[in-house]
Amino acid sequence: MRDQSTFAWKSGYGFLRTPQIRARRFFTLEGRVSGLGYMVDSEGLEVAAPVVVADHASAGRGGDAMLGARFVLLDFDPQPGYWESADGIALVHEAANYARQGATQFSLELPFSTLLPGETLRVIVHLHARRESGDVKLELLSGTTVLETGRAAEGQAAEFHQALAPGFYTVRGLYEDGGQPREASQNGFWVEDEKLLKSGPVLGVKGDFLTRDGQPFFPVGTNYFTTEENGWDFAGPRNAWVWERDFAEMARHGVTFVRTGVWMPVLRFLDPSTGAAPERFLRNLEAFLLSARRHNIIVNFTFYAFHPRPGQSPEGQLPLPGQPPAPTPTPGPGRGGRGAAQPLPPAANPYIDPAAIRAEQNYILSVVNRFKDAPFLCYDLINEPSFSNPGRPWRGNTPNRDPAENAAWHKWLSEKYASLADLAAAWSVTPEQLGSFDTAPLPADADLAFTRYRNARAVRAIDYNLFAQEMFTQWVRAMVTAIHGTGSRQLVNVGQDEGGVTDRVLNQFYGAGGVSFTTNHSYWRDDALLWDSVVAKRPGMPNIVGETGYQPVWALDGAWRYDEVTGYGLQERKWALGFAAANSGALQWDWAREVDFGMKRSDGSAKIWQTMMRDMGQFAEKLAPWASEAVPPQVAIMLPQSLQLSVRNSTALEAQQKCVRALYHYARAEAYAVGEYQVELLGNPKLIVLPSPFGLTPGAWEAIRGKVEAGATLLVSGPFDDDPHFHPTGRVKGITESRIIQ
């Protein structure tokens, strides 16, 4: 804590008497608490909350014994004699008076965070207090200038009719009881500013890096929705005053790029008649974008999280607009003769079913058509996708087993294999056992996981995982094509996590689907963070660390292993490695009040990471002009994807990680990664390292041989004689006069 920090009540609470606080140290409380007073440093940053409030406005686990109670906590260790001083006595007096009012909830709701020119401003007052005898004074402000005033009681709406020019405005509310101010609340809104929305930096791509107005650009930033507790989307009541305040603070601390969007399994807020985002959603998002633009911050909007599910009824996927709902399953026999519903069929496949894809595009295009001319906006199709069963996220690729997937699977097999006999040979069965391509079953979940014995069907995992890569890439291409079909020239990406470098839909594959850049979320592989960055990047395409932070870890005695202090070094390392191996920057998860991941503490004060982000932003700004072109290293790592997409995935990942460690940590070399199935991107390295592939496709092997015959050196660190289904090829015997080192 800097000595020049001073105490101030939170915004709007200047009616409280302001003493000075003299403390030896300040503490941090985590939980459902809010800061009432903060220590503010010379740069205006709220660095600690010595006065915090916890309101019991609803019954908790212990019942309603504490319902309506309010706790005000003085969370610091004062200097000797402070409590006997005039400042100490004044602080206790103000805290006690505030506490005895009891739990109070006070907020101002605006139907829209963006108003059209000439539209009437409507403000709804929400107040729940022990005594609701007072009323609320309302003020409409432009900057610090009060334009109009009004009054309203709880549940009432006040209207302001003054004509307003395009720009940002604040609504300030003060709850008064008996003539005494008790609580304060602020909200904000924009009057539509089309000129501002269509201006700003143009986000682009040049080779391996992102650009901003044509100049090299390294994003440093965060994921962000709000620092209030009101949801990860834009559908309900939102507070643009908070967005404006937070974006201003971000800009002062090096943030140039913010990722936001919709984080929910099912988008129930969509208009049931059109499948589009409703007007409130779009107006709220417009205010968010305008505030970001005002502070020169680029925005990445994410449409879906985990699976693209624009809507779902109890019976499965919602129908397209104009279609009848799916029929309710008929009851069948059940225990005791009561009858039970028959098992529901799988919901429509979110990546393959044509009707589902059209519904997904309805929603996406409702957003894109509204904001396609905002040059500082780009789109993230989906956060951390898994293919294709929505009931099994983050567990590798697993089938949904719906009719569309079955049909696509059969078609894919018939196109991949020249004959049924070839497929049978790959799977070590007879053609008679398969019957036909159209009867070849999707693998069971057990067939996609390693077991020591008694599952000969595990060899089929490579085919399903390759099928998953291709189907997901087709889905990505369909979404990108639809977006660009509107006339939008905005960039599009997929917000993949470490599933993109391990066992789900991989960056190296879906990067061919028309995306502008790829991402990785470096959360779990704390001992392989450099490998994370190396293998996430597809040659010739930018990659950013789109989310990062430490994952919560407990010591064996239940104590936290990481907090904002003990996790500081790991956090810094993860941010820094967003620039490693020609990667293009890093985004923290997230700018929120949260104990583990949040940039803010639960009480709203800033964690010590905020100054680190400012320093990282300054570093990126100075570094960017030098990133005109990526010079490829002379070493290429060929990723053995056939092994990686088999049930021996862990073996492949271990080999890759050891390869990166050996090259970077011991040989002091650097490398770029190329996938076995993207061998056309290999380039002309002097050294090709092939880490323990076991099996390779004939095409990849012949491409490698061609490079070796042209003068490259191949270093293989393990077996490589098999094909992708672990059948011997005899290729080792075929090596006679070559510069291959085994």
pLDDT at residue 337, as a whole number: 43
| pLDDT confidence bin for 62, thresholds 50/70/90 | low
Tokens of 300: 């990445």
Task: Tell me which DSSP letter residue 454 carries.
Answer: S
| pLDDT confidence bin for 60, thresholds 50/70/90 | low
What is the fold of 105-192? Immunoglobulin-like (2.60.40)
pLDDT at residue 265, as a whole number: 79
| pLDDT confidence bin for 343, thresholds 50/70/90 | low
Domain layout of the chain by residue ranges? 6-99, 105-192, 198-312+354-395+492-626, 403-465, 635-741
pLDDT at residue 319, as a whole number: 44
| 472-522 per-position pLDDT tens digit | 999 999 999 999 999 999 999 999 999 999 999 999 999 999 999 999 999
**Of 343-357, 618-632, 682-696, which has the strongest mean pLDDT?**
682-696
What mean pLDDT comes out for the span 66-89?
A: 96
Same fold, 105-192 and 635-741: no
pLDDT at residue 316, as a whole number: 41
pLDDT at residue 63, as a whole number: 64
First to last CA, the chain: 58
Beta-carbon contacts of residue 718 (< 8 Å; ≥ 6 apart): 655, 691, 692, 693, 694
pLDDT at residue 338, as a whole number: 43
What mean pLDDT comes out for the span 184-211?
A: 97
| pLDDT confidence bin for 3, thresholds 50/70/90 | low
pLDDT at residue 334, as a whole number: 41
Q: Model-level pTM greater than 0.85? A: yes
Tokens of 166: 């395009």
- C-alpha–C-alpha distance, residues 679 and 676, integer Å: 5
pLDDT at residue 129, as a whole number: 87
What size, in residues, is the chain? 742
- C-alpha–C-alpha distance, residues 599 and 593, integer Å: 7
pLDDT at residue 324, as a whole number: 45
pLDDT at residue 4, as a whole number: 81
Strand 672-675 and strand 298-305: pairing?
unpaired
| 364-419 per-position pLDDT tens digit | 999 999 999 999 999 999 999 999 999 999 999 999 999 999 999 999 999 999 99
Contact 485, 459 (CB under 8 A): no
Half-sphere exposure of 560 (CA within 13 A, CB side): 12
- C-alpha–C-alpha distance, residues 584 and 574, integer Å: 13
pLDDT at residue 132, as a whole number: 66
CB neighbours of residue 394 within 10 Å: 13
More reliable by pLDDT, 352 or 330: 352
Reply yes or no on whether the pLDDT at 741 is more than 60.
no
pLDDT at residue 1, as a whole number: 53
pLDDT at residue 736, as a whole number: 54
Q: What are phi and psi of 592, to 5 degrees?
A: -155, 170
Tokens of 118: 């000439």
pLDDT at residue 559, as a whole number: 85
- C-alpha–C-alpha distance, residues 439 and 142, integer Å: 68
What mean pLDDT comes out for the span 187-201?
A: 97
Contact 215, 201 (CB under 8 A): no
Beta-carbon contacts of residue 253 (< 8 Å; ≥ 6 apart): 610, 611, 613, 614, 617
| 37-52 per-position pLDDT tens digit | 999 999 999 999 999 9
Reply yes or no on whether the pLDDT at 336 is more than 50.
no
pLDDT at residue 725, as a whole number: 97
Q: Which of 493, 389, 517 is nearest to 448 (CA)?
A: 389
Mean pLDDT in the chain? 92
Q: Which of 263, 258, 279 is nearest to 115 (CA)?
A: 279
pLDDT at residue 331, as a whole number: 42
| 216-248 per-position pLDDT tens digit | 999 999 999 999 876 789 999 999 999 999 999
Reply yes or no on whether the pLDDT at 332 is more than 90.
no
Reply yes or no on whether the pLDDT at 102 is more than 70.
yes
Q: Which of 41, 107, 27 is nearest to 73 (CA)?
A: 27
Q: Which of 656, 643, 733 is nearest to 697 (CA)?
A: 643
Reply yes or no on whether the pLDDT at 312 is more than 60.
no
Beta-carbon contacts of residue 160 (< 8 Å; ≥ 6 apart): 120, 121, 123, 140, 147, 148, 150
Residue type, 448: L
HEC states along 285-309? Answer: HHHHHHHHHHCCCEEEEEEEECECC
Cα angle: 127, vertex 128, 131; to 5 degrees: 105
Q: Which of 690, 682, 699, 741 is nearest to 720 (CA)?
A: 690
Helix (H, G, I), strand (E, B) or coil at 519: strand
Task: Tell me which DSSP letter residue 589 carries.
Answer: S
| pLDDT confidence bin for 134, thresholds 50/70/90 | confident
CATH class assigned to 198-312+354-395+492-626: alpha beta
What mean pLDDT comes out for the span 153-179?
A: 94
pLDDT at residue 155, as a whole number: 84
What mean pLDDT comes out for the span 629-652?
A: 96
Q: What are phi and psi of 215, to 5 degrees?
A: -105, 150
Q: Which residue has the tokens 């624009």?
A: 310
Tokens of 36: 């009432």
Range 711-739 burial, b when 16+ CB lie within 10 A, else e: ebebebbeebbbbbbbeeeebeeeeeeee
Strand 114-115 and strand 180-191: pairing?
parallel
Q: What are phi and psi of 675, to 5 degrees?
A: -75, 150
Contact 579, 620 (CB under 8 A): yes
pLDDT at residue 237, as a whole number: 94
Q: Where are the beta strands (DSSP E) in 87-208?
A: 105-109, 114-115, 121-128, 135-142, 145-152, 157-160, 167-177, 180-191, 203-206
Range 493-509 burial, b when 16+ CB lie within 10 A, else e: bbbbbbbbbbbbbbbbb
CATH class assigned to 635-741: alpha beta
pLDDT at residue 67, as a whole number: 87
